[in-house]
Structures are given as C-alpha cells and as structure tokens.
Amino acid sequence: MATNTDKAVKVAVIGAAGAVLAASIPVLITTLGKDEPSKPPVAASSAPVTSLPTTTPPPATPTTDGPAIALTAEASGTRQVAVGVERKRAPRAGRSFWFVLQIHNVNGHSEFYPRKDVSASEPGYQLQVSIPPDADVARKRTGHVFEVDAATAKWMAAGAADDATMSEKQLINPPCNDCAASNEVTLPFE
C-alpha cells in the first residue's frame, strides 16, 4: 500500500514532467507555425552551446593534369576552320605556345606550318585557320599546340607559315621533340 510520502513523490515527479512539457509546447507551436528556419530552443543548462566550425572550400586552381591547352575544331566556312583554344596554364618561363597546322602524307611525310602564338589566349578564344583556294580539302590536316623555346618562337613569328621561308628541316619536322602542349585535333576543312 502506497504511503503519503510515496504519493507526494509521484505527484512531484508528474508535476515536474508536466511543467517541462508545458514549457515546451509554446516553443513547438511557435516553431511549427513559421515558414522560415528558426533558432533552436535555448537549453536550460548553463553549459555553453558551441556550433561546429564551418569551412569554405579552397578556390579552384588551374589543373596541371593532362595537356596545358585543350583544342576543339569545327568548320566555320569555305576552307576555314574555327579552332577553340582553352589554355589551362601559362607557358613556362622563356617559352611560348604556338598553334601549328600539320598536313599529313605529303610525298610520304608530314609538313608543319606554324600559325599563331596562343600564349595569351583568353577563355573562349577561337583561332580562324584557313587554307589556300588551290589546296586539296580532302587531305588530312590536324592542329597541335607546341610549347617552344624563344629561338623556335622567333623563326615561327618571322612569317614561317609560308613554306618558301622555311628550311626543309623546319617544314618536315615538328617544331620540337616532346613539347606538345595540347591534344591533336582534326581540322575539318570543306
């Protein structure tokens, strides 16, 4: 049989639980009635409330994986191709990026024609490449970017796109070995 003391303890426990529940109901009703997020209820404890630190991801950095330049190509008119040049990094010190047109299988070899220094190309840059009216559009032509040293860039910049001004060695060899800085793209001349 329960004593008066036992009854008093039960009433006190039930009363305390009821008070906590009663105090929580207005907070729940207020919170549920709002469309925007609200602050969490303040704890009755005196322990400090700490939030987890937030971190901001580091800014994107240029990639060093793969080629330094990505090329795309599409026909842009009669005997013209637009070559998209997306530079992923600057050329190394003392070097520059040159776009070179390669004509395949010319008397059993390829010929390489420098076209333009693309070292300072901006995002979205398109290089217009054309061929002469008497050129065979069916012959395979591709484009590459090479990262060349200052001496090579000098003869390329001196108008070396014309085979009459190039030595045979310059004409039938790539501008340098192991210096390709882009993918190779087929130039779809029409």
141 by Cβ neighbours in 10 Å (0-12 / 13-18 / 19+) ranks as: buried
Phi and psi of 38, rounded to 5°? -120, 170
* Per-residue pLDDT at 104: 96
* Per-residue pLDDT at 171: 87
Give the mean pLDDT of 49-57. 40
Cβ-defined contacts of 88-91 (< 8 Å, 24+): 88/62, 88/63, 88/64, 89/62, 89/63, 89/64, 90/119, 91/119, 91/147, 91/181
* Per-residue pLDDT at 29: 39
- pLDDT tens digits, one per residue of 108-153: 999 999 999 999 999 999 999 999 999 999 999 999 999 999 999 9
- The domains found in the chain, sorted by start residue, are 1-45 (no CATH), 69-186 (2.60.40)
3-state helix, strand, coil in the chain (%, to 5): 25, 30, 45
Does this model's pTM top 0.85?
no
Q: Which two tokens stand for residue 1?
A: 């049989």
Which residue in 126, 99, 125, 127 sits closest to 113, CA to CA? 99
